[in-house]
């Protein structure tokens, strides 16, 4: 049973436009959410996170939105750049609980075209 789902395997966006990556989760006990970016043959790199007590967190071009009632979060990248082309993983955790580890979605491959 997949607790974290990224329903879009891929997304293609024009340079300069907005990229919106979506993630849904099923476990209401999750209280911390993260986005990681991954290039081939490298480990995931932390991008941005959000606690369940917030509904928005911004860091430069990256903003994460959390809708707890819908169990949905999204990552907005504005403006998108060709260097953003990578696989983006959404992850969730329950801090201090038996699921202190990260549960990952299967990823969305973002392609930003010049």
Partner 1 sequence: KAGVTQTPRYLIKTRGQQVTLSCSPISGHRSVSWYQQTPGQGLQFLFEYFSETQRNKGNFPGRFSGRQFSNSRSEMNVSTLELGDSALYLCASSSDSLGGYGYTFGSGTRLTVV
Binding stretches for partner 1 (CB under 8 A): 31-32, 34, 36, 41-46, 49, 89, 91, 93-107
Q: Which is nearer to partner 1, 14 or 51 (CB)?
A: 51
Is omega for the bond preceding 79 within 30 degrees of 0, making it cis? Answer: yes
Q: Which is nearer to partner 1, 96 or 114 (CB)?
A: 96
Task: Write out the DSSP string of 71-98.
Answer: TEEEEEESS--GGG-EEEEEEEE-TTST
**Shortest separation between residue 27's beta carbon and partner 1, angstroms:** 13
The residue with tokens 């969305």 is: 108
**Shortest separation between residue 107's beta carbon and partner 1, angstroms:** 6
**Shortest separation between residue 104's beta carbon and partner 1, angstroms:** 4
**Shortest separation between residue 51's beta carbon and partner 1, angstroms:** 9
Q: Which is nearer to partner 1, 15 or 22 (CB)?
A: 22
């Amino acid at each position: 049973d997949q607790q974290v789902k990224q329903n879009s395997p891929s997304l293609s966006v024009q340079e300069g436009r907005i990229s919106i990556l979506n993630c849904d989760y099923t476990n209401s006990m999750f209280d911390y959410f993260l986005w990681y970016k991954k290039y081939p043959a490298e480990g995931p790199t932390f991008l941005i996170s959000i606690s369940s007590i917030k509904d928005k967190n911004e860091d430069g071009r990256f903003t994460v939105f959390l809708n707890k009632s819908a169990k949905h979060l999204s990552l907005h990248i504005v403006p998108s750049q060709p260097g953003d082309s990578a696989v983006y993983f959404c992850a969730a955790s329950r801090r201090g609980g038996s699921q202190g580890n990260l549960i990952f979605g299967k990823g969305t491959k973002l392609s930003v075209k010049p």
